[in-house]
Amino acid sequence: MYAIITDGSISKYINHPKSLVIGDVQYPAKIFSLWTASELAAIGILEVTFDDSKKKDETYYINTNQTYTYDADAGTVTAAYGNATAKAHADVAEVWSQDEIDDGYAPDGTSADDPKNDDNGNQIITRGLKYNFIQTIKAQAEGLLNQTDWYITRKAEKNTAIPSAVTTWRNGIRTKQAAMETLITNASNTAAIETLYTYVNTADEGDPVVMERPLGVFPELGS
């Protein structure tokens, strides 16, 4: 991406090289590949530098839009993020704010902090990360157990014994599911949830790399 500098400020952006007019001069697209950065800068074209140092994983955070800053002394244009906002880790019971009431969005007679209700009269709950991740864990466990459900059906229909390895594995899935859900439930904030899912090298120095996450993983059949 390039920025066009006109009269000391950014006047437009170019996402990819193309022909353009600066002042009264028509420049072909090939100047972006043939000219040096200094030559482009001399006519007011600067390549944008992207600063992602404040950008966070959007699974857990809401990033700001990028802000473009022109530094005339350095001759640079930088696109940078502001401070990210953590997504709610816990469920939020929605209530009316005074601003919403003043702006006429709330039903007549509503006071600040009154619950926001759905069409059935139930308070609206915005689910947090804990709830969503736990639902994912439940779905993953169910999907794994479904792989060997036919053993259970065969046992019920034909009284054929279920292999002990299968029984052990299925019990391990349920045990690990419960442990994972407990870890997520006990996470104190969004950063703590992110840590649970972040893989790190747990091997001693000099040993082969072993990437693990605090949340752990489900056991494999036969492991």
- 70 and 122, same domain (yes or no): no
pTM of the model: 0.82
Judge if 206 and 178 occupy the same domain.
Answer: yes
List the domain range (segments joined by +) for residue 104: 92-126
* Pairwise CA distance, residues 134 & 127, whole Å: 11
Residue 32 lies in a domain: yes
Which residues sit opposite 70 in a β-bridge?
77
Say if residue 200 is in the same domain as residue 187: yes
Residue 217 in any domain: the answer is no
Does 71 share its domain with 144?
Answer: no
Domain membership flag for residue 218: no
Q: Judge if 117 and 136 occupy the same domain.
A: no
Residue 69 lies in a domain: yes
C-alpha dist (Å) from residue 138 to 62, 145, 172, 187:
25, 11, 14, 17
Tokens (6 digits) for 199 = 């893989």
pLDDT above 70: residue 223: no
Q: Which residues neighbour 28 within 8 Å (Cβ) at sequence distance 6 or greater? A: 19
Which tens digit of pLDDT belongs to each residue from 177-204? 999 999 999 999 999 999 999 999 999 9
Element (H, E) at 47: strand 45-51
Residue 44 lies in a domain: yes
In a domain, 219, yes or no: no
One domain for residues 67 and 99: no
Count how many domains the chain has.
Answer: 3
Is there a contact between 61 and 53 (Cβ–Cβ < 8 Å)? Answer: no
User: 10 with 58, same domain?
Assistant: yes
Asked whether residue 35 falls in the same domain as residue 98, the answer is no
Q: Give per-residue pLDDT as tens, 6-62.
A: 999 999 999 999 999 998 999 999 999 999 999 999 999 999 999 999 999 999 999
DSSP code at position 29: T
Looking at residue 94, the DSSP 8-state letter turns out to be: -
- Do 116 and 134 share a structural domain? no
134 shares a domain with 115: no
Structure tokens belonging to residue 136: 């994912």
